[in-house]
């Protein structure tokens, strides 16, 4: 059985990955430092990071920055799934290349956009809006929104230090990047990408693996509990324009599926 170590398993992303991978591989959940009492008594049995524990491990998955020197001399593969500061070659849309030791995860939005030609034929161009939940910030995002919401409901000024902005009860647009604009929304999990397509004879295609067509645009709640990407297409009468709504969970779909695909644990 494939032997994997998840470094950063004390965080939201690391916990989810370790739990989901356990039925498919031998998983060693590692913290990034000495364990706290809460970590020692948590749902997942965590281990403090040491180089000795990595002996015999086939690959390491980074969900947080490891202690300095931990990976020195490590001979296995390294999959860098950190949201920020990831290093390595971008993960291809397929299995791990034979001659590459270190890969980094592609952003979930990039993965979604790469699927558009496989979902709709005849697309000539697109623009859209990314409605982004706080889960991409991990525990800091989820707990930060929770604490801000409680404070506002109690009539207090919320602490914005953990998130860097006021999220509770706020819609916060970001500076557009190319054809997309990101809008941060006050929900815990579940991202939505609303794309406006233009082209000729636009037509829905059979959903590829990991995608499910929905009769109605998916909600963030539906997306948050699905390991599939949920898609809905509304065509204009002349089939020259359409609205494609894509819902995905950045962890369940944007990280877990690519990790399992890279290690040949799924098709």
Tell me the CATH class for 109-249.
alpha beta
The rounded percent of the chain whose pLDDT value lies above 70 is: 96
Domain 3-105 has CATH 2.40.110.10: no
Rounded Cα–Cα distance for residues 247 and 225 (Å): 11
Mean pLDDT of the chain: 91
Q: What angle do CA 233, 239, 243 make, to 5 degrees?
A: 30
Residue 199 β-bridge partners:
123
Task: Kindly report, residue by residue over 118-168, the tens digit of the pLDDT.
Answer: 999 999 999 999 999 998 888 889 999 999 999 999 999 999 988 899 999
Taking only the tens place, the pLDDT of each residue in 15-50 is: 889 998 999 999 999 998 876 776 666 667 788 899
- Of 85-99, 208-222, 235-249, where does mean pLDDT reach its minimum? 85-99
266 within 8 A of 260, measured Cβ to Cβ: yes
Q: What is the DSSP string of 208-233?
A: PTTEEE-SSPPPHHHHHT-SSEEEEE
With a cut of 80, say whether residue 258 has pLDDT above it. Answer: yes
Residue pLDDT, tens place only, 61-95: 999 999 999 999 899 999 999 888 889 999 888 78
Give the pLDDT score at 40: 62
Question: Residue 159, Cβ neighbours under 10 Å: how many?
Answer: 12
């Amino acid at each position: 059985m494939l032997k994997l170590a998840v470094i950063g398993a004390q965080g939201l992303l690391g916990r989810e990955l370790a739990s989901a991978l356990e039925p498919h591989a031998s998983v060693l959940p590692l913290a990034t430092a000495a364990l706290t009492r809460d970590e020692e008594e948590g749902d997942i049995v965590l281990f403090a990071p040491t180089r000795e524990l990595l002996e015999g491990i086939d690959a390491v998955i980074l969900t947080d920055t490891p202690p300095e020197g931990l990976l020195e001399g490590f001979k296995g593969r390294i999959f860098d799934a950190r949201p920020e500061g990831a290093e390595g070659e971008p993960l291809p849309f397929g299995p791990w290349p034979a001659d590459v030791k270190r890969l980094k995860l592609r952003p979930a939005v990039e993965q979604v956009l790469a699927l558009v030609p496989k979902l709709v034929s005849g697309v000539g161009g697109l623009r859209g809006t990314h409605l982004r939940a706080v889960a991409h910030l991990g525990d800091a995002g989820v707990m930060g929104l929770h604490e801000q919401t409680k404070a506002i409901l109690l009539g207090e000024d919320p602490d914005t230090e953990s998130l860097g902005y006021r999220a509770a009860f706020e819609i916060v647009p970001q500076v557009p990047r190319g054809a997309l604009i990101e809008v941060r929304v006050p929900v815990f999990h579940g991202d939505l990408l609303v794309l406006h397509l233009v082209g000729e004879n636009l037509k829905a295609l059979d959903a590829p693996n990991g995608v499910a067509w929905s009769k109605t645009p998916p909600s963030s709640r539906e997306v948050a509990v699905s390991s599939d990407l949920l898609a809905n297409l509304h065509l204009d009468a002349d089939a020259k324009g359409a609205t494609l709504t894509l819902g995905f969970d950045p962890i369940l779909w944007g990280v877990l599926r690519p990790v399992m695909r890279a290690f040949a644990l799924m098709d």
